[in-house]
Amino acid sequence: MDLSAIAFLAIVFATLLMGIWVGLALLVSAAIVVMLYTSIPIGPLMAQYTMNILTTPDLVALPLFIIMGEFLFRTRLSERLFSGLAPWAGLMPGRLIHVNVIASTIFASISGSSAATTQVVGRMSLTELLRRGYGRGISVGSLAGAGTLGLLIPPSSIMIIYGVLAQESVLRLFAAGVFPGLLLATLFVLYIVVCALIKPDLVPESERKLSAMPMRDRLAATVHLLPVLGLVILVMGSMYAGFATPTEAAAFGVLGAALVAKLDGTLNRQSLREIAKGSVQTCSMMGLILVGATILSFATTILGYPQALNNWVATMDLSPLMLIAMMLVVYLLMGTFMDGFSMIVTTLPIFLPLAVAAGFDPIWFGIFIIVTVEMSNVTPPVGFNLFVINKLTGDSVAYITKHTMPFLLLMCAIVFILVWFPQIATWLPSALYG
């Protein structure tokens, strides 16, 4: 490693550790590196890259999905999900604990956010589970784990970012995330079933017997799911049927979410103000990170770091499985001090060429990265889902982390399942789009 590489790493980590915004830290690092090691004027460079990245057509869908999530966050959707799912979840060992996973899976298909999924589902289901006497540990752990599905099940904001940076089809990425997301949700459900069979006291004694609710009442309760299922069909169905692009589908989703909020009686001047504020803050944060990461990526490419690292890894003669295992370890370590969004934009310029050179499909690799980024949401000290649940329950982050570990291990397992059976991620986009 030459002196410039050491200086580059020192500048990046120093700015990140200063505690300033991640996007600003990346932008400052990029500016310093470009000024120190190139003769390119930094002003015009920043202006050009800012214009290029923020006017990318696929990126338009991102703020629209964020606005849709803000609308849904302020509705009574969590109450509807619980009321509609509880009668059916009660048929399985573990009973209502499954609501955490199933509701998170459904809400993830319209929110695109892990933190929003955890917050909306937990606001109702977790409170109800603890009130009824369900096992506290598995209740908080299953919510923290299932909340990460907001990143993997489309539409996902992280997928849009990956598609823009990797220059891959966002629509194909959305399709690639469907089966891995459903598989991970199934593993979570099976784990809860096994735990409930081994430790029956996880379910309160009053609810261990099979509910005698008539089928007619179960079907009637399903009516509560119609608003969210309607949004899923509107957003995802319009894309997969070829009627709409991701951006157009996101616009439909915003209109649908606004209608749901209106019918719920939660749409007023105050809520619109909060929706606008939350959307602007989130979009500004993501835009700043994107610009900073893009210019930093340009700097690393000019200095030849990705190619040098590629050559170095080639001399190690790692098998594809060992390469993926190495990347998984790196992401797990990074997840302890960086959020998933920042992890992707800072590592993609280096890891994507390595993965492609090793024979991995870029669409498949996008799903791999998103699964590993999911893990960062449940790893301390910066795991967003841990803090969301901490605010909901008052439990310590250490306690929540302890009971989330089994679900984190299942996420690790899904990575290697995807390595051995890549068709889980690649079949649907190939079938739909060739």
Distance, CA of 300 to CA of 119 (rounded, Å): 37
Query: What's residue 96's pLDDT?
Result: 86
Q: Is the pLDDT of residue 110 over 60?
A: yes
Core vs surface per residue 338-363: b (16+ CB within 10 A) or e: bbbbbbbbbbbbbbbbbbeebebbbb
For residue 26 the two structure tokens come to 């990346």
Query: What's residue 306's pLDDT?
Result: 65
Distance, CA of 117 to CA of 104 (rounded, Å): 6
Structure confidence at residue 34 as a pLDDT band (50, 70, 90):
confident
Query: What's residue 304's pLDDT?
Result: 73
Mean pLDDT over residues 249-267, rounded? 85
Q: Is the pLDDT of residue 308 over 80?
A: no
Q: Is the pLDDT of residue 337 over 60?
A: yes
Structure confidence at residue 307 as a pLDDT band (50, 70, 90):
low
Closest CA to 130 of 122, 142, 139: 139
pLDDT in tens, 278-296: 888 878 877 777 777 777 7
Q: Which of 105-109, 240-244, 312-316 has the lowest mean pLDDT?
A: 312-316
Query: What's residue 119's pLDDT?
Result: 78
Core vs surface per residue 129-168: b (16+ CB within 10 A) or e: bbeeebbbbbbbbbbbbbbbbbbbbbbbbbbbbbbbbbeb
As a whole number, the mean pLDDT across the chain is 82
HEC states along 303-359?
HCHHHHHHHHHHHHCCCHHHHHHHHHHHHHHHCCCCCHHHHHHHHHHHHHHHHHHCC
Burial status of residue 18 (CB atoms within 10 A of its CB: 0-12, 13-18, 19 or more): exposed
Structure confidence at residue 72 as a pLDDT band (50, 70, 90):
confident
HEC states along 217-271?
HHHHHHHHHHHHHHHHHHHHHHHHCCCCCHHHHHHHHHHHHHHHHHHHCCCCHHH
Query: What's residue 13's pLDDT?
Result: 72
Q: Which of 18-22, 89-93, 220-224, 272-276 has the lowest mean pLDDT?
A: 18-22
Tell me whether the omega of the peptide bond preceding residue 381 falls within 30 degrees of 0, making it cis.
yes
Query: What's residue 16's pLDDT?
Result: 65
Percentage of the chain modeled with pLDDT above 90: 16
Higher-pLDDT residue of 127, 370: 370
CB 224 within 8 A of CB 80: yes
Structure confidence at residue 109 as a pLDDT band (50, 70, 90):
confident
Structure confidence at residue 2 as a pLDDT band (50, 70, 90):
low
Higher-pLDDT residue of 261, 72: 261
